[in-house]
A and B are shown apart, each in its own frame.
Chain A
């Protein structure tokens, strides 16, 4: 290291990514200022903000996988889930917020394959899956998903046959979408819990299928 580039922080130019952990970036400071103002003006309370954060953090793809596995296991439940997700989810203890956005559940079959995107921002069924993955919010995914969905699926390892109709859902408004992926072959003997372990986050976005069960280890 040259002598004019010592360890003192204030040496005339920024080092992106090397700021101390306790320093907030521009947007974080801006959000914090807006938050304090809203609390000061009585528009929101800090409890309400915390409640909102908790409700997002509480959910993860494990919750969605549990719902999908239950639908695979029980055809009648699946029909209810597709028809009226709000009350079907209540049966499993998931209370969706009464406010918008609402949830629609779609099913992938051997004839139709759904894939979800939000071309405008990052709309995602957070009420059931938690936070979206970073790639879902990337400009690359958001712009390519509508133009070349089959190409994206190939990159996720899924080569769909030409006979399958691809239906891309662009969640632009008050509706969020959860995909029930195709139930993999050779899963007739699995328990609901074992089924749930095959349901990945990506398969509930529809960029790929659910996992196939690992063949049981062959005894000697």
Chain B
């Protein structure tokens, strides 16, 4: 059996990425509060069927690489109550990310 087609993983751990901004009228799983924010890839879980297709009866192909992306809490919220080092980790599919420049 051949593995289902997957988009290639475009990012490696340690790379800076930015989250695309968008609110499709269809199903999507990228929370709006991190859209437009810059984070760092801390893990690549492998590839999974794309929920934006699965949510509407599609086959989810090509699969999308899924990353755990780390954000600094202080960069997400102006009034964050906690130390600088607190983090927020969100799982994001490849098609929502693009390379960030510092």
Chain B's interface size range is 20 to 34
Give 10 A-B contacts (CB < 8 Å), ordered by A residue. Answer: A146-B33, A165-B86, A166-B82, A167-B89, A168-B86, A170-B31, A170-B91, A174-B66, A174-B91, A175-B91
The residue that B86 contacts in the complex, of A102, A151, A166, A174, with Cβ under 8 A, is A166
Q: Which of A191-207 contact B (CB under 8 A)?
A: none
Residues of B within 8 A of A165 (CB): 83, 85-87
Chain B, 31-71, contact with A by CB distance < 8 Å: what is the 0/1 string? 10100000000000100110100000000000000101000
- Contact count A vs B, C-beta below 8 Å: 67
Bound together, the chains give a CA A119 to CA B30 distance in angstroms of: 10
Nearest B-chain residue to A142, judged by Cβ:
B31
Q: For the complex, what is the distance from the CA of A170 to the CA of B73, rounded to whole Å?
A: 13
Main secondary structure of the interface of A (DSSP, over half): mixed
Q: Taking the nearest CB of chain A, how far is it from the CB of B68, in angstroms?
A: 8
Could you tell me which A residues sit within 8 Å of B by CB distance? Answer: 100, 102, 119-120, 146-151, 162, 165-175
Judged by DSSP, the binding face of B is mixed
Which of A162, A169, A171, A172 has the most chain B CB within a 10 Å cutoff? A172
- Residues in A whose Cβ lies below 8 Å from that of B77: 147
Whether A148 and B81, one on each chain, are in contact in the complex, defined by CB atoms closer than 8 angstroms, is yes
6 smallest CB-CB distances across A and B, nearest first, come from: A173-B91, A174-B48, A166-B86, A170-B90, A165-B85, A167-B87
Excluding A172-B30, A173-B91, 8 further A-B contacts by CB distance (< 8 Å) are A147-B80, A149-B82, A166-B73, A167-B87, A170-B89, A171-B91, A172-B90, A174-B91
Judging by beta carbons under 8 Å apart, are B91 and A168 in contact? no
A204 to B87 CA separation, bound complex (whole angstroms) = 19
Contact among B30, B45, B83, B87 with A174 in the assembled complex (CB-CB below 8 Å): B45
- Whether B33 and A175, one on each chain, are in contact in the complex, defined by CB atoms closer than 8 angstroms, is no
Complex Cα distance, B90 from A13, in Å, reads 46
For A113, give the chain B residue with the smallest CB separation.
B86
In the assembled complex, the CB of A177 is this many whole angstroms from the nearest CB of chain B, namely: 9
Bound complex: CA A166 to CA B76 (Å): 14
Asked whether A120 lies within 8 Å of B91 as measured between CB atoms, the reply is no
- Most chain B Cβ neighbours within 10 Å, of A100, A148, A166, A173: A173
